[in-house]
Structure 1
Amino acid sequence: MVFRFWSKAYLCVFILHIAVLNAYSQTSSISGRVVDRSGNPLAFVSVELLGSMHGTSTDTAGIYQLKAVGSSTQIKFSYVGFKSLVKNIVPGKEQILNVRLDEEDNSLQEVSVKGKKHRSYSNRENPAVELIRQVIAHKHENEAQHYDFLQYQQYERIQFSLSNMPSGIAGKKMLSPYRFVFENIDSTKIQGKTVIPVFMEEKLSDNYYRKDPEKTIQIMKAEKSVDFGKYLDQKGMTVYLNRMYNVVDIYAPNIFIVSNEFLSPLADVAPTFYKYFIQDTITTSDNEKLVEMHFFPRNKTDLLFKGKLWITLDGNYAVKKVELGLSKDINLNWVREMTVTQDFERNPDGRYHLSRNSMKADFGMLPQKGAGIYGERVVYYSDYHVNVPALAEVYQGSTLQSNTSLTKDNQSLLLESKRPDTLSAAEAKVYSNIDSLQRIPSFRHTMSITAAFTSGFKTAGPVEIGPISTFYSFNPLEGTRLRLGGRTTTAFSPRVYLESYGAYGFQDQQWKYLLSAAYAFNNKSIYTFPFHYLKASYQKDTEIPGQQVAFAQSDNFLLSFKRGDNDKWIYSDVLKTDYIHEFSNHFSYSLGFKNWKQRPAGTLEYYTLDEGQKTPVADLTTSELSLELRWAPHEQLFQGKMYRTTIPSKYPIMTLRFVSGLKGVLNSDYSYQNMMLNVSKRFYLSQLGYSDFMVEGMQIFGQLPYPLLTIHNANQSYTYQPYAYNMMNFMEFVTDHYVSLNFEHKFNGFFLNKIPLIRKLKFREIVGLKMLYGGIRSENDPVLHPSLLAYPLNGNDRSSTYSLGNSPYAELNVGLGNIFRIIRLDAVKRLTYLDHPDVVKLGIRASMKFDL
């Protein structure tokens, strides 16, 4: 009897055990599509099986696919700004489940407060607003800058993938050499979509912060990256991408993302622009009590976030977790979806420190369909040490330092050992795949041609031929102008750099040329930061007096098209030597010597009217020494092959220049001095856009003919030039002292986004003002001193060059940007000196720019 009893008992247990194993071994396969109530797909929606560790997210088409082993009977869909939804499923079966999520702010237009039945949303007596004000009041205590000293280790990874590529692309015959790349599909990032990793960069660093005097030090310990350096400025690209995918400081008043500043939901004024709702109270497995709070913009078209905050109730009022999303109604280009997630961990001191920052974005030409680019930057923080000062010498170095003691292989091993997460199979292959790709001749040829058109130079072994845009141009003096030039690269020598070109004008039948040589003291290219070189050059060419072209060569083909008269030129022979030294903190100085001989050309004549007699002057010659000091704190650069561009930021840039003329040196006829100061700065105004200011002042000491004074930069092309006077004629104004203001504000669609139908076009409003105030001292006035060169005359024998009078020169522009996402049109109105000959009072100017 006993034996039979235990036999049956064991049999029951065995059967029960088998049943349990069977239940937990059931494989569920659920797929479907998530849309909003209008039927638009929702990307990056979190999909999780309740009671398990399995989950995924939707792709940009709203599609998800989830396979998991277990007995879960419910699946949950959650997304920033939408009500979470729980659906029942049948374990162990393949099923299709399409769902629709409702926006949360529409369902929470009314709240219950203190027993009152219903009322419309209000900050007054709203417990959610009261709680958020407590978070705002305590945010300085929860910021990392609250500590006197802070140390931590940081791992970061940024990667980009081709997304939503056409099906069957790997089978295309013309792409057969690249098949191994297109078959490296990652299904873990965006489920149900073709995602092909093409770029990845990893970094591991030690970071130190000191409060007084404030300084932040980052010491790079290991780096690994896909290398496209032969075709673009990879360092500058990384800087730009890191800025786009900026690590969010949730406690900051404004948060910079992509290319704009968004008002933080924890800014002091945030309750004026956001709505807050308490959704739930949660107790974590660590017995932490949190409040889940949802927030939404009061106006969906403003540069504001929607999302969720998890706030601690331990008296710190700290953020434990945050999810940020963007409304589809804001004025951003190419951005299909973007989400930011941050996690904070409690440290032994009771404070919460950032442990993980993840930003995901999907970009594409079309709102939801078509190929695009998926990007992700994830940053992990660990090993925090608070109020423990590092050795004094740590804080004496530059802001960004590199530990160069490890080889590339050892850096790779260190990254693998310190990587907080695991790379997917596709991610792990991206380094080797791209390295193999660059060994394919057809790929190298294609990239070389692409780089030539984007950079302006075609690489040919140790030299570069270009700029391509200057090969052909035309002007009234030279007629058709042909030019061919080039320069050496680091493949020729890491220290010696040569540059030259030859040009011929078929109308004036004269040759022009440049001969230049430079020596780099830092064993780096003289075209990349930081500069440290000595350069000597001799150039014989033509110029328009006063014209300074930004981001282009003066003989660029597109600048051949000009309005009005363009017949006053000079032949210029310039001998120059320059020594330039830049430092890692973006302070630089340069010493220069310049001997300049200029001869009038076209209809321009140099002559004096001393004693009423017109006496021609064949040429002018000057020699001068110069010293320039420049400081651009926290400057970030994107380096092209012709120009480098400062990535705009809130920090000012200051330039101070001294010049002294040397009479008698190399036939120089004049002695003079001048001093110039230029300060520029961008001011971000959150959802109101941003303003760019530039103020410049200059003073010349000494008696000089007008060509050696300041001939102000005019623009007679049909393009809009940001640093030129777009309604001023060439050689119209000359001064020996002046103060100028260049102001431009971009509203980023703040007003137009609020107009129905118009907001779908995503136009952006621009206003600007340029003012110039100055004049000429009596000693430099050719009317009072006829021995000086007389001002030139136009075809009607009227003077076409003037000194500024008692009123400033001013022009106002009102622009419409982001037309077809790339075109900008400005109506430019000239406000003063309208009685001058050949004046155009109002003009339309165009420009192009790719901007997010």
Structure 2
Amino acid sequence: MIKKFFFVLFCFVSVLNFAQTKVSGVVLDEFGEPVAFANVLFKNSTEGTITNDDGRFYMESDNNHSVLQISFVGYETLDIPLTAKVTYKIEAVLKESGEQLDEVVIFSGKLSKKNNPAIDILKKIWAKKRENGLRKYKQYEYDKYEKVEFDLNTIDSALIKSKMFRGLEFVFDDLDTSRVTGKTYLPIFLNETFHKVNGDNVLGVKKEKLQGSKNSGFSNNQAITAFVEDLYSDYDIYNNYLKFFDKSFTSPLSKTGVDVYNYALADSAFIDNKWCYNIIYYPRRKNELTFKGDFWVNDSTYAIKKINLEVTKSANINWVKEIYIEQEFDVVNDSVFLLKRDYMLSDFSLNKKESSKGIYGKRTTIYNNYKFDIPKDKKFYKQSVDEYSPEAFSRDDTFWTKNRLERLNKDEKGVYELLDTLKTVPKFKSYYNIVSILGSGYVEIDKWNLDIGDVYSVFGYNDAEGVRVRAGARTYFGQNDPWRVEGYLAYGFDDDKVKHGISAKWLVDKKSRLIISGGHRQDIEQLGLSLTATNDVLGRSIASSSVFTVGSNDRLTNIDLSAFSIEVEPVNNLRLRVGNSYRKLSSALPNAFSLDYVDAESPTGISSQIKQLDFTTTLIYTPGKRTIGYGVERKNINDEYSTLLFNYSKGFKGPMDSDFDYDKVQFSYGQPWQIGGFGRLYSTVEIGKTFGEVPLGLLNVIPGNQTLFSIYNTFPNLDFYEFVTDTYASVHLEHNFNGRLFSRIPFMRKLNLREIVGLRGVWGELSSENIALNAPTNIPLMAPSDQMYWEYSFGIGNIFKILRVDFNFRGNYFDNPNARPFSITGSFGFNF
């Protein structure tokens, strides 16, 4: 999330519209109060908008219009003559009226659900929605052109003359205003793609093949490319909920919409020779994730012809001041309505004040050349698509002239040239580098093809090392590198020792995702922060490097780890990894924390170091996961997919002086659940068992958390090594209501706080054989076998838009030594 935020900051550091009529202003009542959600349109047309919470509006049209018409329930309709093509700062005052329009049935206040013709029409939309669009055909295909643009907005003379842009004034030579908000803006980034899309409703499959891709100069930046891909995901207005920026907004066409929206039948007219009804909708309450706007729906098919959606300013979403969506549908075969144009604008800003400067993110998608009922063989859909074919990224102007389904305007054409120029300006390069470092965590050294970092791991503290510093680097030729080498050095001032880690990965085959990797690490680690162990040679938990902890953080381990693995992805999102590891484990603070175990072969009968050779097979399935890139390290661009993991480890005694024979089986299932308008639930279930006798360093430690940070999948009221098991089952549940509850409390609405509740539990046992083997340790060995250990928590998020505080309560086992019944943890981050 922090990478997304810093990308928006980067855009601060980029269209001549052909509109013939532009208007803006405010709608007030006779007492000077703003009229929210008033209907504003060019008279005798279907071009209109809705005023925002402050009664303000902006609108423009490619046509000439002479009269602006403003209306709202309970007020007289007001016609305002337009004497010029551009008319700004209109102040429209509506007078109350006891009369009702003859042609339209209207309601005022919180509109009734009974005897409301708009609700009757809405019910027919629900009944017909599965019959409209592409669902009517067995097979379909079409062309899809998409244009994503970012613009610096709210530009004024003070900004142009500011020190930030001194020497960069030339970028402001061509400026225009947004047709949605009326703000002056400058395009600074543009990305175009063209796809051929095929689908089969009988088989339930869909395939998109990239034909061409072009952007304005940042194709090699890992943070920017992933952000652009993730920013605008596809959505269907007929769905009950529309997901934007990790939030679920209630669709105005939702079956639950009647609980959160007011609907009013406002007008009816012919559009493209089809008689349509116009329905206005707006929220019943503030601070909820809802829209305001209107839509036109056909009177026979009840298919949507046009719709616009605008997020209300009071909606509980950060860093986004405006979200505006328009969709237009074409009529095919006299009855089928197919999506023709989809436009979405987001106004990113640090606050929601009208004058605040920000960044527009705009996506325009055009659909064309529909064809139906042309069957394709099943093999066609099974064939893999090379989404990153070099040919698609090197298309010439002839290709784009033919396939660009919507022409670029003057400023958009100039973005490519502008960015080429900007990248030669030292001041711009400095801005770019600073924000890139904050976003990715690495300092890019282009001439060496090297990244220094990550910068967020430079400092740490623990009881064994005291103050710790770390410096690292990795090779980086581009986001699609077939190989990568990464390493670090660290030094602890108390133990006066240098630690290190190095790893290498090589993508042998791009199609099967065959990856060979290996590495070595010698460091101090807090083991047991996760039940499902990994052999990541560069991994480092926050527990062993956190600056602040609760109680003594002295149960640390010296680890000397070497690992090698081979990974393949035979089916999309199904990864199989086999590998081996050899590790040496010993206590970093033997007086406080012992890993000693009974060893009959030792002269003293006790050993303090573990030497272990393991072979591991791991199966990871992530259905629905989307990634970007085809190199050895791909980036995830969504987070709503589930993760199923199966891990089998076999330990050997003998080879390389390895100490133990054992088998370990582990399974975990993680799933995010979008609970409609009630937020998101994260759930994780883990089970595991170790067969054979093993020392403490190889057992499953229930992950405690002695830091002040909220860490999912840990128990914040458990100390490290408070519970140790060889058989376990755990569950973690965390639900974020996204402000749904607080928005119902009047005095808390404006704070936009978000409520989070958590429930977690674990059951486990430790065999008598393992207790006897580990008898020499100097910490108590306990497992939650009598009853499941459990905790619950209540959290408040979005404090000052960046902070979250959790209040954690222990449910049982209060008699354990130094048991903590209550704790407070927190986290910070830039979340929408």
TM bracket (short chain)? 0.7 to 0.9
Output the CA distance in 1 between the equivalents of 2:336 and 2:746: 46
Output the CA distance in 2 between the equivalents of 1:68 and 1:214: 40
What amino acid maps onto 1:34 in structure 2? V
Output the CA distance in 2 between the equivalents of 1:116 and 1:52: 20
Q: What's the counterpart of residue 534 of structure 1? A: 516
Report the secondary structure of 1:670's partner residue. Answer: strand
Q: CA RMSD in A?
A: 4.0
Correspondences of 1:322-361 after superposition (within 5 Å): 322-348=307-333, 350-361=335-346
TM-score, normalization by structure 1? 0.84
Q: Cα–Cα, structure 1 residues 188 and 503, in superposed 2: closer, same or farther, change >3 Å? A: closer
Correspondences of 1:725-804 after superposition (within 5 Å): 725-782=715-772, 788-790=773-775, 792-793=777-778, 799-804=779-784
Q: What's the counterpart of residue 716 of structure 1? A: 706
Report the secondary structure of 1:537's partner residue. Answer: strand
Report the secondary structure of 2:189's partner residue. Answer: strand
The alpha-carbon deviation at position 95 of structure 1 amounts to: 6.5
Q: What's the counterpart of residue 151 of structure 1? A: 141
Output the CA distance in 2 between the equivalents of 1:439 and 1:101: 52
Kindly indicate whether the alpha-carbon contact (under 8 Å) linking 1:169 and 1:182 is maintained by their aligned counterparts in 2.
no
Output the CA distance in 2 between the equivalents of 1:115 and 1:608: 83
The alpha-carbon deviation at position 555 of structure 1 amounts to: 6.7
Q: What's the counterpart of residue 356 of structure 2? A: 370
Correspondence for 1:424 among 394, 403, 409: 409
Correspondences of 1:140-539 after superposition (within 5 Å): 140-172=130-162, 175-189=165-179, 192-243=182-233, 247-284=234-271, 286-314=272-300, 316-348=301-333, 350-367=335-352, 368-398=354-384, 401=387, 405=391, 408-410=394-396, 412-460=397-445, 461-490=448-477, 494-522=481-509, 532-539=514-521
Q: What's the counterpart of residue 9 of structure 1? A: none
* Cα deviation digits, residues 89-109 of structure 1 (max 9, x gap): 364698766134879xx9999
Q: What's the counterpart of residue 8 of structure 2? A: none
Output the CA distance in 2 between the equivalents of 1:123 and 1:340: 26
Correspondence for 1:34 among 26, 31, 36: 26
Kindly indicate whether the alpha-carbon contact (under 8 Å) linking 2:53 and 2:312 is maintained by their aligned counterparts in 1.
no
* Cα deviation digits, residues 710-768 of structure 1 (max 9, x gap): 11222111111112211110111111111111101111111111212311010011000
Output the CA distance in 2 between the equivalents of 1:99 and 1:405: 54
Q: Cα–Cα, structure 1 residues 506 and 280, in superposed 2: closer, same or farther, change >3 Å? A: closer
Kindly indicate whether the alpha-carbon contact (under 8 Å) linking 2:251 and 2:290 is maintained by their aligned counterparts in 1.
yes
Output the CA distance in 1 between the equivalents of 2:725 and 2:63: 80
Q: Cα–Cα, structure 1 residues 102 and 197, in superposed 2: closer, same or farther, change >3 Å? A: farther
Q: What's the counterpart of residue 74 of structure 1? A: 67
* Cα deviation digits, residues 232-284 of structure 1 (max 9, x gap): 433321221123xxx43122222222321123333334434443322222123
Q: What's the counterpart of residue 4 of structure 1? A: none
Kindly indicate whether the alpha-carbon contact (under 8 Å) linking 1:681 and 1:693 is maintained by their aligned counterparts in 2.
yes
Output the CA distance in 2 between the equivalents of 1:227 and 1:115: 53
What amino acid maps onto 1:499 in structure 2? E
Deviates more, 1:734-743 or 1:509-518: 509-518
The alpha-carbon deviation at position 390 of structure 1 amounts to: 3.1
1:840 maps onto 2:827 in alignment: no
Q: Cα–Cα, structure 1 residues 827 and 82, in superposed 2: closer, same or farther, change >3 Å? A: farther
1:808 maps onto 2:788 in alignment: yes
Query: Which of 1 and 2 has higher RCO (CA within 8 Å, sep 6+)?
Result: 2
What amino acid maps onto 1:815 in structure 2? G
Q: What's the counterpart of residue 562 of structure 1? A: 549
Kindly indicate whether the alpha-carbon contact (under 8 Å) linking 2:70 and 2:78 is maintained by their aligned counterparts in 1.
yes
Output the CA distance in 1 between the equivalents of 2:766 and 2:737: 38
Kindly indicate whether the alpha-carbon contact (under 8 Å) linking 2:218 and 2:225 is maintained by their aligned counterparts in 1.
no
Q: What's the counterpart of residue 584 of structure 2? A: 597
Unpaired runs of at least 5, structure 2: 1-18
Report the secondary structure of 1:415's partner residue. Answer: helix
Correspondence for 2:565 among 578, 589, 610: 578
Q: What's the counterpart of residue 674 of structure 1? A: 664
Correspondence for 2:574 among 582, 587, 592: 587
Q: Cα–Cα, structure 1 residues 522 and 829, in superposed 2: closer, same or farther, change >3 Å? A: same
Output the CA distance in 2 between the equivalents of 1:383 and 1:108: 50
The alpha-carbon deviation at position 332 of structure 1 amounts to: 1.6
The alpha-carbon deviation at position 153 of structure 1 amounts to: 0.9
* Cα deviation digits, residues 768-809 of structure 1 (max 9, x gap): 011111212333232xxxxx122643xxxxx44312222112
The alpha-carbon deviation at position 514 of structure 1 amounts to: 2.0
**Aligned residue pair count:** 799
1:135 maps onto 2:125 in alignment: yes
Kindly indicate whether the alpha-carbon contact (under 8 Å) linking 1:59 and 1:190 is maintained by their aligned counterparts in 2.
no
* Cα deviation digits, residues 563-593 of structure 1 (max 9, x gap): 1011122211111112223467222121111
1:607 maps onto 2:600 in alignment: no
Output the CA distance in 1 between the equivalents of 2:74 and 2:610: 73
Q: Cα–Cα, structure 1 residues 88 and 655, in superposed 2: closer, same or farther, change >3 Å? A: same
Kindly indicate whether the alpha-carbon contact (under 8 Å) linking 2:133 and 2:336 is maintained by their aligned counterparts in 1.
no
The alpha-carbon deviation at position 192 of structure 1 amounts to: 5.0
Output the CA distance in 2 between the equivalents of 1:93 and 1:723: 60
Q: What's the counterpart of residue 528 of structure 2? A: 546
Unpaired runs of at least 5, structure 1: 1-26, 525-529, 783-787, 794-798
Kindly indicate whether the alpha-carbon contact (under 8 Å) linking 2:326 and 2:344 is maintained by their aligned counterparts in 1.
yes
The alpha-carbon deviation at position 57 of structure 1 amounts to: 11
Output the CA distance in 1 between the equivalents of 2:465 and 2:47: 72
* Cα deviation digits, residues 671-729 of structure 1 (max 9, x gap): 11111111111111222111111111111111212221111222111111112211110
Q: What's the counterpart of residue 796 of structure 1? A: none
Q: Cα–Cα, structure 1 residues 676 and 68, in superposed 2: closer, same or farther, change >3 Å? A: closer
What amino acid maps onto 2:274 in structure 1? E
* Cα deviation digits, residues 345-388 of structure 1 (max 9, x gap): 11126211111111122222222222111121111111111222
Kindly indicate whether the alpha-carbon contact (under 8 Å) linking 1:770 and 1:812 is maintained by their aligned counterparts in 2.
yes
Identity %: 26
Output the CA distance in 2 between the equivalents of 1:830 and 1:735: 19
Kindly indicate whether the alpha-carbon contact (under 8 Å) linking 1:184 and 1:197 is maintained by their aligned counterparts in 2.
no
Kindly indicate whether the alpha-carbon contact (under 8 Å) linking 1:519 and 1:533 is maintained by their aligned counterparts in 2.
yes
What amino acid maps onto 1:848 in structure 2? F
Q: What's the counterpart of residue 797 of structure 2? A: 817
Q: Larger Rg: 1 or 2?
A: 1
Output the CA distance in 2 between the equivalents of 1:125 and 1:177: 64
Report the secondary structure of 1:802's partner residue. Answer: coil
The alpha-carbon deviation at position 509 of structure 1 amounts to: 2.7
Kindly indicate whether the alpha-carbon contact (under 8 Å) linking 2:68 and 2:81 is maintained by their aligned counterparts in 1.
yes
